Structure 1
Amino acid sequence: MEETTESPLQRKMTSRHLLMISLGGVIGTGLFLSSGYTIHQAGPVGTIIAYLIGAVIVYLVMLCLGELAVAMPVTGSFHTYATKYIGPGTGFTVAWLYWLTWTVALGSEFTAAGLIMKNWFPHTSVWLWSAFFIVLIFCLNAFSVRFFAESEFLFSSIKVIAIILFIIFGGLAVFGIIPIEGYSHAPLFRNFVKDGIFPNGIHSVFITMLAVNFAFSGTELIGVTSGETKNPGKDIPKAIHPTLIRLILFFIGSMAVMAALIPWKEAGVTQSPFVHIFHQIGIPYAGTIMNFVILIAILSCANSGLYAATRMLWSLSNENMISKAFGKVNRLGIPMAALILSTLGGVLSLISSVIPAQTVYIMLVSVSGLAVVIVWMAIAASQLMFRRSYLKDGHELKDLKFKTPLFPVVPIAAFILCFLSCIFVVVDPAQKAALFYTVPFVAACYAVFYAKEWARRRKATAAKNSERVGV
């Protein structure tokens, strides 16, 4: 499949860019901020179990995406695959859902950035800082693809280093090698079992899955970037294979440290667990430094998210599903109209001026988490149907440069686990609202697509009848 446009997108990304962009999309508020919410809801052990389940789900989805992205490296891959192998209505809906995932996520990222800035400027409003960062991230995305890739490589490197240091220092504190405020000896496992393994019940593990899925959303960015990657057949597998190891190292490692050092009742989203623990350890200026790192992480994630949302609109236009205006790119290879519309999602963060910022944050995380899980289901279903179609057309399995292992077990398992994540949201009143926004959005997407198809066919039929009358 080849992309065509008046001024094509540029293939400027290498394997190191893909690796760090996939990390940049993942390491944001989901780890640095909403991890506190998960600990508070599921308890220490429940949190680790929830993130382990989430890591497995994401890895299964990535194995499915790898086969598709290498076989068909196109920008906006998810909806293109869904269009071809599931149906055009589903492809149209998947594209808009993924756009919703990131535009809503932008709102949560900018809200989180405002909450971080409030630590330094307590008398300012969260929404004012959100507005400032909206403008900043828009400007970063308005430069060339190469500039975006290099900036994400730098930002993600800072995040990775910070998390590794957090795990090292936190681990030393857990084992009592570094003294920590409030503990006379090693606090290892004390907070894990203090109020029972599942203080809010085992069901709390599953009702936090949307927040966990939101934390892991961004790994699929590899698929979005495939159309702007120099050597997708070589670079995409390099980025996908270590996915599970990265998620376990960064997320499970961090969660274990947090759960061991922070009583689950004290965790939340008003302050990052990372800052809380560094304060406890007593490292000079560690709180300020960590807040700065978290701010970089949040803005990096927003930067990746805006890129993804913009490319999804470009792809919709490129496939003639929306106005051609969104498919036009400037001399720098940037689809500016798509960028402007996608940036509007960040405006959702400004409602923190009338609704408490913490409430806004949890609401946006839930909507974004549910939307991305539905997209993951579409990826799994697309791979299942692609493989069957590929073999049916007479191709041989050995010709695939990247093969999803254990077919069809992997795509089926990925689909079922994602579906269960959607079901569990009904149990949590705080996240149930996501259904009231996302389900009507999905229905509206299908309705708009088939209404447009009906109008197109009616127009085509009228044109044919006119030709016959003329003859």
Structure 2
Amino acid sequence: MLHTAPHQPDAPPAPSLTEEGYHRGLGKRQIQMISIGGAIGTGLFLGAGSRLQQVGPSLALVYLVCGIFAFLMLRALGELVMHRPTSGSFVSYAREFLGPKASFVAGAMAFFNWAMTGIVDITAVALYMHFWGTFAVVPQWVFALFALLLITGMNMIGVRWFGELEFWFSLIKVAALALFLVVGAVILGLRIPVGGETTGLHLITQNGGLFPHGILPSLVLVQGVIFAYSAIELIGTAAGECRDVHSVLPKAINAVIWRIALFYVGTVTLLVLLLPWHAYHAGVSPFVTFFERLGVPGIDTVMNIVVLTAALSSLNSGLYSTGRVLRALALDGSAPRFLTYMNARSVPSAAILMTVSIYLVGVVLNYFLPTQIFEIVLNMASLGILSTWSFIVLCQIKLRKAINRGDLPATSFPMPWAPVSSWLTLAFFAGVLVLMAFDYPNGTWTICCIPLLAVLLTIGWKLARHTPDADATLPPPTMPSIMLTEDFLEHPIKPGPADTPPATPRKP
């Protein structure tokens, strides 16, 4: 049971997710931090290297197109939040507008997404460690296992320690990207050579142009770029804990498009203007490649430590999120009851250890497929992302229909150009699945797994479904850890003894 007041992250809200529910009192600073740090992860720090190798400078255009539709998805989520702010986010909206089965699928696919993302992250950690020649003889799976044990320990000993670690991880991650943008812009502006190459636009025009391998490879690559934007939808989860959601969230969502332009489109454009696109390689962060070619002693090592920290940050947050998603499903009667168990430190240990068991599969895959695992699992994670985003847009379509019928009042932050923009966004997501099928062999096999995934979801619904306990409550399915850290720093928690009954939430 829980031992603290309602502001504790693990304190579950009432089943209705209303004013008696999970409350954290987030302000503008916290929401803005989530929107900045939530979308900067392994997909950019490591994935951009292989992406540049595959399609060259056109990667910036792919980031831009995917970013536009990711932004439209956020606007759809924004309209839902203005209708009813909730920490349950898309799982709660799916239950309201699409029914309990859709809610189960949404939660299960979100769990699947974060589980696959965790495998990507432990693989990234192992690849980063091989940057140093000293560790070249150490098998990749050993580093993957070590990273998993470290982060599991930090999650199990208490959420305050987890939050403190994640705060610094995320701070380093954001600062590193900002440093690259500043240094890269100065070098480009002063035309300082990098690795013997003169910087500038000629690095694109003289190396095959915007599409050195043609347009088709760039189209096929879209599903990998979608992975880079995963987690931006967690702004909606945080909205349930925001003090002034109606003024804070619209500004945060509208600012996302500019952050996409800067952090993704701007970063990739800068990378190909500083070095030829073929200088970047799979398995090596493009930022490490740049600083290594820059010739500053030790700077490549420092940058590798930074991107290693970013991967650990993503793994840390992912394990937290998957544990909460799984526990949320169990509390709602859609997963085995034992997954609701929380230890004396108010940590959902059963759900976390279940998640770790899936991550261990990633360690095994690192043993058998060390050179292929990153791309294979990234494709699988993309299925979960597309599913989550599609549920958000479908719920917004249902909401708008109810508004047009007069059943619900209009919101103050409507989806622009709806319903055309909503259906166009869904069509784009469907197109990503089609393009994924052409990405042989990884993408092709991923699409072939969809029927199997549907069968597993059907079996899961029939076997795991049970009547929720009378006092069961639904915690937020996912929560960005950077938000948790800042909240803990502002509202320290004083754990009570294990036999202390939970505090009674005060109604506002």
TM-score tier, shorter chain, comes to 0.7 to 0.9
Which residue of 2 is the match for residue 118 of structure 1? Answer: 130
2:175 pairs with 161, 177, 189, which one?
161
CA contact (8 A) 2:319 2:355 kept: yes
What are the Cα deviations for residues 362-404 of structure 1, in whole angstroms up to 9, with x where unaligned?
A: 101111012211221111011110232245454321xx35433
- In the alignment, is residue 101 of structure 1 matched against residue 76 of structure 2? no
* Counterpart code for 1:318: L
Q: What stretches of structure 1 of length at least 5 have no aligned partner?
A: 457-471
Tell me the CA shift for residue 73 of structure 1.
3.5
What are the Cα deviations for residues 265-292 of structure 1, in whole angstroms up to 9, with x where unaligned?
A: 3433221110111111122211011001
Across the aligned residues of Structure 1 and Structure 2, the Cα RMSD in angstroms comes to: 2.8
* Counterpart code for 2:29: R
- In the alignment, is residue 417 of structure 1 matched against residue 407 of structure 2? no
- In the alignment, is residue 435 of structure 1 matched against residue 447 of structure 2? yes
1:139 pairs with 106, 130, 153, which one?
153
SS at match of 1:405: coil
2:394 pairs with 381, 384, 390, which one?
381
Structure 1 residues 33, 41: CA separation in 2 closer, same or farther (over 3 Å shift)? same
Which residue of 1 is the match for residue 90 of structure 2? Answer: 78
Which residue of 1 is the match for residue 494 of structure 2? Answer: none
TM-score by length of 2: 0.81
Structure 1 residues 223, 331: CA separation in 2 closer, same or farther (over 3 Å shift)? farther
Tell me the CA shift for residue 259 of structure 1.
2.0
CA contact (8 A) 1:100 1:368 kept: yes
Structure 1 residues 308, 200: CA separation in 2 closer, same or farther (over 3 Å shift)? same
- In the alignment, is residue 240 of structure 1 matched against residue 253 of structure 2? yes
Q: Distance in 2 between matches of 1:138 and 1:324?
A: 22
- Percentage of identical aligned residues: 28
2:374 pairs with 348, 352, 361, which one?
361
2:220 pairs with 204, 207, 216, which one?
207
Q: Which runs of structure 2 are paired with 1:64-463 in the superposition (5 Å)?
A: 64-120=76-132, 121-142=135-156, 148-149=162-163, 151-183=165-197, 185-229=198-242, 232-330=245-343, 332-392=345-405, 394-397=407-410, 400-429=411-440, 430-449=442-461
SS at match of 2:232: coil
What are the Cα deviations for residues 279-325 of structure 1, in whole angstroms up to 9, with x where unaligned?
A: 11122211011001101111111222222222222221232222333
TM-score by length of 1: 0.87
What are the Cα deviations for residues 331-389 of structure 1, in whole angstroms up to 9, with x where unaligned?
A: 65432222221223322331344334230001011110122112211110111102322
Tell me the CA shift for residue 90 of structure 1.
2.3
CA contact (8 A) 1:64 1:410 kept: no
* Counterpart code for 1:33: L
Q: Distance in 2 between matches of 1:221 and 1:300?
A: 16
Q: Distance in 2 between matches of 1:452 and 1:336?
A: 19
Which residue of 2 is the match for residue 465 of structure 1? Answer: none
Structure 1 residues 14, 144: CA separation in 2 closer, same or farther (over 3 Å shift)? farther
Q: Distance in 2 between matches of 1:216 and 1:310?
A: 21
SS at match of 1:308: helix
SS at match of 2:372: helix
Which residue of 2 is the match for residue 20 of structure 1? Answer: 33
* Counterpart code for 2:414: K
What are the Cα deviations for residues 35-69 of structure 1, in whole angstroms up to 9, with x where unaligned?
A: 1121122221x211100011111111111112223
CA contact (8 A) 1:89 1:450 kept: no
Structure 1 residues 325, 66: CA separation in 2 closer, same or farther (over 3 Å shift)? farther
CA contact (8 A) 1:175 1:188 kept: no
What are the Cα deviations for residues 105-128 of structure 1, in whole angstroms up to 9, with x where unaligned?
A: 100101110111122322212211
* Counterpart code for 1:51: Y
Structure 1 residues 385, 394: CA separation in 2 closer, same or farther (over 3 Å shift)? closer
Tell me the CA shift for residue 233 of structure 1.
4.4
Structure 1 residues 48, 353: CA separation in 2 closer, same or farther (over 3 Å shift)? closer
- In the alignment, is residue 62 of structure 1 matched against residue 74 of structure 2? yes
CA contact (8 A) 2:43 2:225 kept: yes
What are the Cα deviations for residues 417-457 of structure 1, in whole angstroms up to 9, with x where unaligned?
A: 1111111001110322222334421332134325777x99x
* Counterpart code for 2:444: K
* Counterpart code for 1:404: M
CA contact (8 A) 1:21 1:149 kept: no
Structure 1 residues 441, 262: CA separation in 2 closer, same or farther (over 3 Å shift)? farther
Deviates more, 1:287-296 or 1:227-236: 227-236
Structure 1 residues 259, 370: CA separation in 2 closer, same or farther (over 3 Å shift)? farther
Q: Distance in 2 between matches of 1:406 and 1:148?
A: 41
Q: Distance in 1 between matches of 2:41 and 2:155?
A: 18
CA contact (8 A) 2:51 2:282 kept: no
Structure 1 residues 321, 391: CA separation in 2 closer, same or farther (over 3 Å shift)? farther
Q: Distance in 1 between matches of 2:406 and 2:397?
A: 15
Structure 1 residues 187, 407: CA separation in 2 closer, same or farther (over 3 Å shift)? closer
CA contact (8 A) 1:178 1:281 kept: no
More helix by share: 1
Q: Distance in 2 between matches of 1:145 and 1:390?
A: 40
Tell me the CA shift for residue 23 of structure 1.
3.9
Structure 1 residues 439, 215: CA separation in 2 closer, same or farther (over 3 Å shift)? farther
